[in-house]
Structures are given as C-alpha cells and as structure tokens.
A and B are shown apart, each in its own frame.
Chain A
C-alpha cells in the first residue's frame, strides 16, 4: 500500500527532521539515520493518531527501519481499529 509507505515515511522524516529522500527504507534508524528511542516514541504516537491504531509498547524495539514500521502499521491496521 503506497499511501501507507508515504505516510509512514512522512512521519519518520518529520520527527527526525530529515527530507524523506534522505531516509532509505531499510536503513537502521538508530545506527544509520541518527534516531533514538525518544524519537521512536514520537513516531509511534504520530502513527497511532494518523492511522487510528494502538501500537503496544513492546513493539517499540521492533521499529528499527521504515520498512519495519510500515509492516507494523499494516499489521496493527488489520488487527482492528481503535474505537
């Protein structure tokens, strides 16, 4: 789903204050892009708001690349929407 990929990349690039084109979808966000866990929290909160999903805390450590965040978002959307 192209729009989710676009949306996630937009959120990640906004939080990390980088242009979307600067972030490769498989780059490790901490090791290669300069993110930290506090930024991951901001990404998580923005995803929850935009897609009306709930991402549990334990998933935070899995949010290592944009592609993994896209997968996680898609899974959460399939898993049921927030009321």
Chain B
C-alpha cells in the first residue's frame, strides 16, 4: 500500500473503500498502519437515518456503528493488501455500552488480529470522548475468497 499523508479526508477514503453516500460511515482517518487504524465519524442531526431512528428520539443505529467499524476495518486491510475486491462481513461479535446521539464524534479504533490475503479478523472499539460505545470482533472476506 502506498504511503498516504494523514489524516485521510473523505475523498482519500473513497479511493480506499467502495461505500458511498448515504452509506459512507467514516469521515476521516487519523491513524493508519497494517496494525491499527483510527477513524472519525462526525454524527450530525442531518443524518438520513435519524429520520426513522427514532422519530422524536434520535439515536445512531447500532448496525451503523458496526458498519463504521467494518469500513475502518477495510482501511486496515488495505494497508497490507492491495486487493480491490469488495469485502463481505462473515462474522460480527459485538457488545454495545452507550448510545450515540446527534453532535457526537465517534472515534473508531480497529486493530489487527489476523490479516490474510483474502480475509481478515480484527478487533474494533468505538468511543465518544473517553466513553466506550461498543466493542467488536469482526471477520470479513474478499468476494473472491473461497468460502469452502
């Protein structure tokens, strides 16, 4: 992976991961190595998902926190491998500790457990300030990985 200047802004991130609006869940990458990636998601009141989640009580969906972790995980994988195939989730073990509200800045920290050429396993943690939001272990595989 070629050396990139940090932080990576959204246009740099779009060169690394295939997700786009309204499904791009990381705004900035402030740290990136094959062992660790730290990404930021600024959660605004204008997020499309707040329309329905929930009317009158805006809470960021946990599924999208997992998505932010997974997207940071793709950045992590791409620090080691140049494979541009889409990565699919294969396993997610997650625990949520606190909710995320409009105005929060979500910091996602992913660290490598094991990266292979067509699949990866990593640990992910999400924080708002010092407060832990969620912790997960996520496995993903490239679309051309053999699944049997």
Chain B residues with Cβ below 8 Å from A38 are: 90-91, 119, 139, 141, 145, 147
Would you call A37 and B119 a contact (CB within 8 A)?
Answer: yes
* Chain B residues touching A, majority SS: strand
Chain B 105-127 near chain A by CB (<8 Å), digits 1 or 0: 00000000110110111000000
Least CB distance from A48 to B in Å reads 7
Least CB distance from A49 to B in Å reads 8
User: In the bound complex, what is the Cα–Cα distance between A45 and B113 (angstroms)?
Assistant: 7
User: Is the CB of A36 closer than 8 A to any CB of chain B?
Assistant: yes
Chain A residues with Cβ below 8 Å from B116 are: 41, 57, 60
Chain A 40-57 near chain B by CB (<8 Å), digits 1 or 0: 011011001100000001
User: In the bound complex, what is the Cα–Cα distance between A42 and B116 (angstroms)?
Assistant: 11
Interface residues on chain A, size class: 10 to 19
User: Is the CB of A30 closer than 8 A to any CB of chain B?
Assistant: yes
User: In the bound complex, what is the Cα–Cα distance between A48 and B116 (angstroms)?
Assistant: 14
B120: nearest chain-A partner, CB-CB: A41
* Interface residues of B, Cβ cutoff 8 Å to A: 90-91, 113-114, 116-117, 119-121, 139, 141, 145-148
Which 7 pairs, one residue from A and one from B, show the smallest C-beta to C-beta distance? A38-B90, A45-B114, A36-B147, A57-B116, A45-B121, A41-B119, A45-B113
Given contacts A49-B113, A57-B116, A60-B116, 14 further A-B contacts (CB under 8 A): A30-B148, A36-B147, A36-B148, A37-B141, A37-B145, A38-B119, A38-B139, A38-B141, A41-B119, A41-B120, A41-B139, A44-B114, A45-B113, A45-B121
